[in-house]
Amino acid sequence: MNRNAFEKLMWSIALPGFGQFLNGKIVKGIVLVALEFLINVKANFNKIILLSFNGKINEAVHETDLEWLMFYPCLYFFAMWDAVKDAEGGKDHFSFLPYVFSAFFVTVGLMYSSNLKIFGIFFGPVWLPMLFVIPGVITGLIIKKIMNIIY
């Protein structure tokens, strides 16, 4: 990944749409920021982040609107991928796969976040999905490698 694409990726991680603004894709950036804001508000995302960071995981679960929050991973990882692609960082035919699988795994993590414990630890709707990024990226990289060999 080139330095320009990495910068756009980092800004997209900060807030979906910022990478698009830096790439000169203003309308796309506005749409992504607006969608992020809508989903964030409807899902109570900032509140559950605050509660989770303060160790109030059960309260965070209670405040979460999963029907809205489940949109967030796809928006988030699409914004990252799109910013990188537009900055000419995703030239490999299958370089989108780690982003796609991360979105999928994080969404699955959200679905189980209200009751799944790992080694007796209850992570809740912020930390569990974040942990699910790891198998998402690994799965995406493995499938990318396989697809590059096949095609």
Report pLDDT for 68. 97
Whole-structure pTM value? 0.92
Instruction: Return the structure tokens found at 151.
Output: 């095609």
Residue closest to 100 by CA, chosen among 88, 113, 84: 84
Between CA 59 and CA 124 the distance in angstroms is: 9
Residue closest to 137 by CA, chosen among 91, 100, 87: 100
In angstroms, the Cα distances linking 30 to 11, 20, 33, 44, 121 are: 14, 9, 5, 21, 38
Cα 130-136-139 angle, rounded to 5 deg: 155
Between CA 56 and CA 49 the distance in angstroms is: 10
59-109, pLDDT tens digit by residue? Answer: 999 999 999 999 999 999 999 999 999 998 877 889 999 999 999 999 999
